[in-house]
Homo-oligomer: A and B are copies of this chain.
């Protein structure tokens, strides 16, 4: 093997912070002209799938190779996720680095939420709810609190122990036993579950809420009831093809109202008409996760090693 750095998840986590990654992702969405991103390729296995996610961003050609495998042979269902990222310099073709992709994915996904929240949430947002307290949630909280002055963090998880453990990591976090209660006073709601049902209802939400819908990233996954999408004044997607296939807006046809639709790139590159849209109706950011986010972030991490 040629002499390239090979970075573990721990090493990746030490080389980049969520606020640093927010800057990278914001610049990335301002410069999409210089990127390439063919559709993800899927391979299907009996209990999951593998995905090849190639892209060019920041003069870097790279790929994330990742997979999900459900192990239901034991007493408890176990989901195995693995991801590796390889990046090459496009000026020389040279392989620069191989790194674990799990921590990288968590950080870049949170950073995208941070960018969306910076551009789409009300400036006076003070409360933020996080639905689902899994591996990605801590960094999602870091991202939202990095861009808005959040006074209170509301947490909900079907496994309330998990929510309480997450709450211990923050000074101003509260755990709710009721999903409706958790959502009621939240200015910003970030959904982080693997749900296949639209379990969040419009009647529980604040009128001018920003929802960052992060969980739905594959066909058949959804977290929002049709009533929620129906009530949005603005929907922003990370990438149209992917969201209309894998995100919350795969269910757009169930809605009577059709809100204004913009890409995150359009929003970040503004100024845009969306400033004129009636924001009292709420905004949805539909995130499915993009290969360009992985490659841009991986390049930054690699540069920190040199």
Task: Point out residues on A near B: beta carbons under 8 Å.
Answer: 1-2, 6-8, 36, 38-39, 41-48, 50, 52, 54-56, 61, 63, 65, 67-69, 71, 80, 82, 84, 86, 88, 90-95, 98-100
Find out whether the CB atom of A41 lies under 8 angstroms from the CB atom of B43.
Answer: no
Find out whether the CB atom of A84 lies under 8 angstroms from the CB atom of B93.
Answer: no
Rounded to whole angstroms, the CA-CA distance of A99 and B84 in the bound complex is: 13
State which of B6, B36, B41, B90 has its C-beta within 8 Å of the C-beta of A6.
B6
A99 contact set on B, CB distance < 8 A: 1
Find out whether the CB atom of B67 lies under 8 angstroms from the CB atom of A93.
Answer: yes
Closest to A90 in B: B45
18 A–B contacts from the bound complex (CB under 8 Å): A1-B99, A36-B43, A38-B42, A38-B43, A41-B41, A41-B52, A43-B56, A45-B93, A46-B90, A50-B88, A52-B52, A52-B63, A65-B86, A69-B94, A80-B93, A82-B93, A84-B98, A98-B98
Counting every copy of the chain, the complex holds 2
A90 contact set on B, CB distance < 8 A: 45-46
Contacts A36-B44, A38-B41, A65-B65 aside, 20 further interface pairs with beta carbons under 8 A come to A1-B6, A1-B7, A1-B100, A2-B82, A36-B43, A43-B55, A43-B61, A48-B93, A54-B65, A63-B63, A67-B88, A67-B93, A68-B93, A69-B92, A69-B94, A80-B93, A80-B94, A82-B88, A84-B86, A98-B98
Closest to A8 in B: B1
Rounded to whole angstroms, the CA-CA distance of A82 and B36 in the bound complex is: 20
A291–chain B nearest beta-carbon distance, Å = 10
Find out whether the CB atom of A43 lies under 8 angstroms from the CB atom of B50.
Answer: no
Rounded to whole angstroms, the CA-CA distance of A203 and B232 in the bound complex is: 72
A293–chain B nearest beta-carbon distance, Å = 16
Rounded to whole angstroms, the CA-CA distance of A71 and B92 in the bound complex is: 7
A294–chain B nearest beta-carbon distance, Å = 13
A6 contact set on B, CB distance < 8 A: 1, 6
